[in-house]
Structure 1
Amino acid sequence: MTRRQEILSVAKTLFRDKGYRSVSMRDLAKAMDFKAASLYNHISSKEEILAEIVLGVAHYFTREMEIVKSIDVDAKTRLEAVINHHIDLTLQKPEAIAIVNNDWMHLEGNNFEEFLKLRNAYEQDLRDIINKGVESGELKAKNVEVILFSLLSTLRTLHLWYRKRSGVNGQQLKNDITEILLNGIVTKA
């Protein structure tokens, strides 16, 4: 692990546990047993750390959505893939998911704009999948925005619930959440 990766790893834990605003570069240096000045040899600012974490997750979701959009399957299968991608990243990188959900608004300038662009595009792609499913009769004719909100709010906060119940098997979690989230909107064959 490079020194930069080590800094990012420690920062993720501190940001998740205390919140981005409450963590100083001194706190980060202390947690790493560094002098604060030596951190600046590897990272230019706390905001740079936040941007790398948040935009890294946003780009991951964008790449995964591109894969989902490229496969020739029905809306239900696409939604299942989206749900599975969210759960996989929550299980693999819970700190990063927590930071994206809780601290993205502290990004500045171009980083803030880039994140909003990626998030809005992702939400629009998901909205399009839902709309196509409703139009084809595969999904129930419910309010698309309510479906979108229900899916995203569950998936975005999963890290909070899972952190307290980490003994739950990942595959079972995927199966159960997918079934529960989609049962209310998939029409019966």
Structure 2
Amino acid sequence: MKSESRKQEIINAASILFKEKGYSAVTMRDLAKAMGIKAASLYNHIQSKQEILSTIIIELAEEFTTGMSKIIDSDNSALQKMENIIALHIDVTLRNADGLASLNNDWMHLEEENLQYFEKMREDYENNFRSIVKKGVDKGEIKACSIEIMVFSTLSTLRTLYLWYPEQKNIDSDILKRDMISVLLKGVV
């Protein structure tokens, strides 16, 4: 149990460094120094920097995939499903903003098998989102605008939330959810 806990500490520390410097610029020595241990000690808990990156990205991508599956399978309206997707992104961001930096910025450094797995999850996620928006437009729940622009605008905002929110000291998470849902789904007019 202690080993798993230490592995998670390593992953958490690496997430912060990857966010600050980018995956390519971080060495195992940097990580060890940040944790106050010897680099060789890291290998008692992990195999490589690539294992750390894969763990961060794949776990987050699977969390989004699982969340999207539940949303898709629900009997909710398209608008409610979109609200739930926004809430999902906010919840994940509040729990792991540092990891989301790797998910968004360092995914291309994944090794082939994990890269393909991640790209498939991302593509399926976007297609599911697109399908929800299209159904909403078809049913008249959502204004008939370009589906691609709606998908791009919403997902771009949600995917970069990890950059903006940590700097916001006075915005409560409930207010963030309420107002982001309102702005993203109803606009500012």
Name the CA distance, whole Å, in 2 between partners of 1:167 and 1:92: 17
Cα displacement (A) at 1:39:
1.2
> Which residue does 1:76 correspond to in 2?
79
RMSD: 1.0
Q: Aligned to 1:168, which of 168, 171, 176? A: 171
Name the CA distance, whole Å, in 2 between partners of 1:35 and 1:121: 41
TM-score calculated relative to the size of structure 2: 0.94
Moved over 4 A (4+): none
What is the CA deviation profile of residues 48-77 of structure 1, one whole-angstrom value per residue up to 9, with x for unaligned ones? 100000000000000000110111011000
**What is the identity, as a one-letter code, of the residue corresponding to 1:150?**
S
Which has the higher mean CA deviation after the structures are superposed, 92-101 or 79-88? 92-101
Q: Aligned to 1:96, which of 99, 115, 130? A: 99
1:1-189 aligned at under 5 Å gives the runs: 2-184=5-187
Name the CA distance, whole Å, in 1 between partners of 2:23 and 2:155: 22
Name the CA distance, whole Å, in 1 between partners of 2:76 and 2:13: 40
Cα displacement (A) at 1:45:
0.8
Task: Quote the sequence identity (%).
Answer: 49
What is the CA deviation profile of residues 97-132 of structure 1, one whole-angstrom value per residue up to 9, with x for unaligned ones? 122111111111101101000000000000000010
What is the CA deviation profile of residues 150-169 of structure 1, one whole-angstrom value per residue up to 9, with x for unaligned ones? 00000011111112113210
Name the CA distance, whole Å, in 2 between partners of 1:48 and 1:82: 28
Q: Across the two proteins, how many residue pairs are aligned to each other?
A: 184
TM-score calculated relative to the size of structure 1: 0.94
**What is the identity, as a one-letter code, of the residue corresponding to 2:19?**
R
Gaps of 5+ in 2: none
Gaps of 5+ in 1: 185-189
Name the CA distance, whole Å, in 2 between partners of 1:47 and 1:162: 27
